[in-house]
Amino acid sequence: METILTSPTQEVRIGPEHPFVVIGERINPTGRKMLAAEMAAGNFERVKSDALAQVAAGAHMLDVNAGIPMVDEPAILAEAVRLVQELVEVPLCIDSSIVAALEAGLKAYQGKALVNSVTGEEERLESVLPLVAEHKAAVIGITNDESGISHDPDARFAVAKKIVERAESYGIPRQDVLIDPLAMPVGAVNTAGVTLFTITRRVREELGCNTVCGASNISFGLPDRESLNTTFLAMAIAAGMTSAITNPLVESVRKTVLAGDVFMGLDENCMAWLKFQRAAKKAAEGEQEEDRRRSRRRG
Amino acid sequence: METILTSPTQEVRIGPEHPFVVIGERINPTGRKMLAAEMAAGNFERVKSDALAQVAAGAHMLDVNAGIPMVDEPAILAEAVRLVQELVEVPLCIDSSIVAALEAGLKAYQGKALVNSVTGEEERLESVLPLVAEHKAAVIGITNDESGISHDPDARFAVAKKIVERAESYGIPRQDVLIDPLAMPVGAVNTAGVTLFTITRRVREELGCNTVCGASNISFGLPDRESLNTTFLAMAIAAGMTSAITNPLVESVRKTVLAGDVFMGLDENCMAWLKFQRAAKKAAEGEQEEDRRRSRRRG
């Protein structure tokens, strides 16, 4: 059970035998007015710096979204994909709700991309899956359909199963479908956590598919979202989640993912944990030294 | 599947339908020289302040241990149990490797105590279980035996099964046996996390028993133990762990437990989470106010 994504120079493997995969979420104008305005005006400087910063912070892949109202989203998404691929080596996740934009992004992409996303809605299945098959890409299948997002884990699992089977009918092997069990805000839906853990386990055991989720929606509307998000991420990893679209620039997210690998037995001799801690210590010492220098200059 | 512990005024229920139970670990002279010396000299002031502080920090129960070399441990443990029960209302966990000390502690205790612990070793089973049965207490069963601690989850599970069955033969119902699947240091045993999660799940599904663990041993010898411990705790909760002997004075531990309840669907409308966050905010504002007052006085 292994999902392989590639760029011209790198390969990322998602699966229960591999360290958890972090897909950087930052290149997304939703809720980021400045970024949206810049991208709409053809200015991709922030896209580039976000790409570099996320890879430096340990992102294994990057999500690229250009969902800005009233613009030529296909052209902007394709341009963003091209520019990001010139700059960083990690594989990309091409993210849009507009099929023409996914198509333009896939055409611009070099390698095997992850398409974000298809749902269980007939119209989406029939328009997105042929595109995924044509480009030999992988795809995220979100567990909602025409009736919306069910609170019943069985209903959400049934949507996952439908997506996987339909994908196979298009020649997309099930290891190339990553199921997103959907993290609902737990403040509104108290069963959101349990439901997600249950679906995640069933998707692995019964469908043999990997899973991905957006790991910050779960805490929407509650105080101290960072603490909630990291605990949730750890619990999702324990339930078998194999990747997440999240923000690697948040240190606690990065730490939780690395500690998760340690406890899932996927960090041999804790090498990645020790390496991260050494780098963090070095960075902290560097900052202290900088502070001392500054205070000497002032003094 | 519910383990009930009591004091004269309080009842604690451990089980998958209840919020996670934190057993405060601080009243334990192991590795605390000052506390050991004071307890040996009959000075229980620190025991009392540790009891109050842990309950204030949200401990649902307190572990009481008097393991000091070359002292009359039964007398000291009994005295500590009496004094702590005078001071706080939570049920206690009576902790010793010496059977006579467990006996003295149980005699001094008012209510239904948790005994920490029995192992799968014949000599321990035959000496501790009759005592637990006589006092109608509950007991922690640790999954090692004469052959030591196995790295094989099946072997550890077999020890758990043996303890539960032997307890039943003494008239101790299985809901009064809490299994400790043993958190080994993951730095030395890379499979420690996966093994613990596996045993925890099997103990619930196949034995119908609750589980408890010491949640800090897992990170022994590694840097940034707090981050490792909180991620591990979250993952153990997701695997079905129902209680832990840990330090509620560490804020991240407290937060992880509360967030764990949120995601397990055990914190209705996130009331406990919101209450904790409000109290934390108020405490932080109080500190800021105090700082301002101090700087005005100095100024």
pLDDT digits (tens, 9 = 90+) for A185-238: 999 999 999 999 999 999 999 999 999 999 888 999 999 999 999 999 999 999
CB B67, CB B102: distance < 8 Å: no
Classify domain A3-266 by CATH number: 3.20.20.20
Q: Are strands B21-27 and B61-65 parallel, antiparallel or unpaired?
A: parallel
- pLDDT band with cut points at 50, 70 and 90 for residue B299: low
Residue A231 and residue B230: Cβ atoms within 8 Å?
Answer: yes
**Gap between the Cα atoms of A109 and A191, Å rounded:** 39
Residue A231 and residue B234: Cβ atoms within 8 Å?
Answer: yes
Q: Which residues of A touch B260 (CB under 8 A)?
A: 231, 235
CB A28, CB A95: distance < 8 Å: yes
Question: What are the distances in angstroms from CA A205 to CA A198, A254, A271?
Answer: 11, 27, 29
> For position A77, what pLDDT does the model report?
98
- pLDDT band with cut points at 50, 70 and 90 for residue A299: low
Say yes or no to pLDDT of B75 above 70: yes
Residue A263 and residue B235: Cβ atoms within 8 Å?
Answer: yes
Helix (H, G, I), strand (E, B) or coil at A113: coil
> A157: distance to nearest CA of chain B, Å?
19
A121 DSSP 8-state letter: -
- Candidates B223, B227, B260; nearest CB to A235: B260
> A196: distance to nearest CA of chain B, Å?
9
3-state SS, chain B, equals CCEEEECCCCEEEECCCCCCEEEEEEECCCCCHHHHHHHHCCCCHHHHHHHHHHHHCCCCEEEEECCCCCCCHHHHHHHHHHHHHHHCCCCEEEECCCHHHHHHHHHHCCCCCEEEEECCCHHHHHHHHHHHHHCCCEEEEECCECCECCCCHHHHHHHHHHHHHHHHHCCCCHHHEEEECCCCCCCCCCCHHHHHHHHHHHHHHHHCCEEEEECCHHHCCCCCHHHHHHHHHHHHHHCCCCEEEECCCCHHHHHHHHHHHHHCCCCHHHHHHHHHHHHHHHHHHHHHHHHHHHHHHHC
**Phi and psi at residue B93, to the nearest 5°:** -115, 115
Residue A235 and residue B238: Cβ atoms within 8 Å?
Answer: yes
Least Cα distance to B105 among B127, B76, B72, B128 occurs for B76
pLDDT digits (tens, 9 = 90+) for B218-243: 999 999 999 999 999 999 999 999 99
Q: Which of A190, A219, A220, A235 to mutate to test the interface with B (most CBs of B within 10 A)?
A: A235
Question: What are the distances in angstroms from CA A280 to CA A56, A111, A251, B228?
Answer: 13, 33, 10, 15
CB A179, CB A163: distance < 8 Å: yes
> For position B286, what pLDDT does the model report?
86
Average model confidence (pLDDT) across chain B: 96
Q: What is the mean pLDDT of residues A131-142?
A: 98
> For position B89, what pLDDT does the model report?
98
Q: What pairs with residue B286 in β-bridges?
A: none
Say yes or no to pLDDT of B114 above 60: yes
Least Cα distance to A275 among A286, A262, A288, A287 occurs for A262
pLDDT digits (tens, 9 = 90+) for B14-47: 999 999 999 999 999 999 999 999 999 999 999 9
CB A227, CB B259: distance < 8 Å: yes
Say yes or no to pLDDT of B270 above 80: yes
Which residue shows structure tokens 């091209």? A82
Q: What is the mean pLDDT of residues B181-196?
A: 96
Rounded to the nearest 10°, the torsion over CA A59, A107, A66, A118 is -80
Residue A234 and residue B234: Cβ atoms within 8 Å?
Answer: yes
CB A127, CB A98: distance < 8 Å: no
A143 DSSP 8-state letter: S
- pLDDT band with cut points at 50, 70 and 90 for residue B252: very high
A215 DSSP 8-state letter: S
* Angle separating helix axes B225-238 and A225-238, nearest 10 degrees: 60
Residue A262 and residue B223: Cβ atoms within 8 Å?
Answer: no
- Candidates A194, A227, A255; nearest CB to B259: A227
Residue B123: CB atoms within 10 A of its CB come to: 10
DSSP A21-90: EEEEEEE--TT-HHHHHHHHTT--HHHHHHHHHHHHTT-SEEEEE---TTS-HHHHHHHHHHHHHHH--S
pLDDT digits (tens, 9 = 90+) for A58-69: 999 999 999 999
**Gap between the Cα atoms of A174 and A150, Å rounded:** 23
Helix (H) or strand (E) holding A93: strand A92-95
**Gap between the Cα atoms of B259 and A76, Å rounded:** 39
Domain-by-domain residue ranges, chain B? 3-266, 269-299
Residue B263 and residue A194: Cβ atoms within 8 Å?
Answer: yes
CB B166, CB B215: distance < 8 Å: no
**Gap between the Cα atoms of B258 and A159, Å rounded:** 31
CB A204, CB A238: distance < 8 Å: no
> For position A223, what pLDDT does the model report?
97
State the complex-level ipTM.
0.94
Q: Which residues of B touch A226 (CB under 8 A)?
A: none
Least Cα distance to A222 among B276, B58, B265, B249 occurs for B276
> For position A284, what pLDDT does the model report?
87
Tell me the residue type at A96. S
- Report the alpha-carbon angle B123-B125-B129, nearest 5: 130
> For position B105, what pLDDT does the model report?
98
